Amino acid sequence: MTFRPLHDRVVIRRAEGDMKSKGGIIIPDNAKEKPQEGEVIAVGPGTRDESGKLVQPDVAAGDFILFGKWSGTEVKIDGEDLLIMREADIMGIVKKTEASAKKAA
């Protein structure tokens, strides 16, 4: 199934949370806090301003973003848990630097 968001809605795949605490304790799924960051999977065409012109969204598929703790609606599409939210609920785009990429690897 393909899904195309409408207007200024954005489909997001939530980032994976840490499986262990900093002290090395394994955290069970029901005790984990859901991450507030994720990757944009799909973006709607945008909204219309007062004159009827289409306003393009600031995010694009592939962007890594931060969003509010209670933002969006959780949905399951093709067996994958995703979030759908309005672009206004997105706080910003995260640019990964070489240092953070090396640290993650």
Give, for 55, the enclosing helix (H) or strand (E): strand 54-55
Residue with tokens 């507030």: 36
What digits encode the pLDDT tens for the residues 69-91? 888 888 898 888 899 999 888 98
- Digit-coded pLDDT (tens) for 40-52: 999 999 888 899 8
Beta bridge partners of 55: 47
* Residue 74: partners with Cβ closer than 8 Å, 6 or more residues away: 81, 82, 83
CA distances from 76 to 10, 30, 40, 73, 81 (A): 14, 18, 15, 10, 5
Q: What is the pTM of this model?
A: 0.71
Q: Could you tell me how far CA 95 lies from the centroid of its own chain?
A: 14
Is the backbone of residue 4 left (phi > 0), alpha (psi -120 to 50) or beta? beta
For the chain, the residue count is: 105
Instruction: Answer whether 10's CB lies under 8 Å from 40's CB.
Output: yes
pLDDT single digits (tens) 50-73: 998 998 888 999 999 998 888 888
Q: Which domains are delineated in the chain?
A: 9-17+29-93 (2.30.33.40)
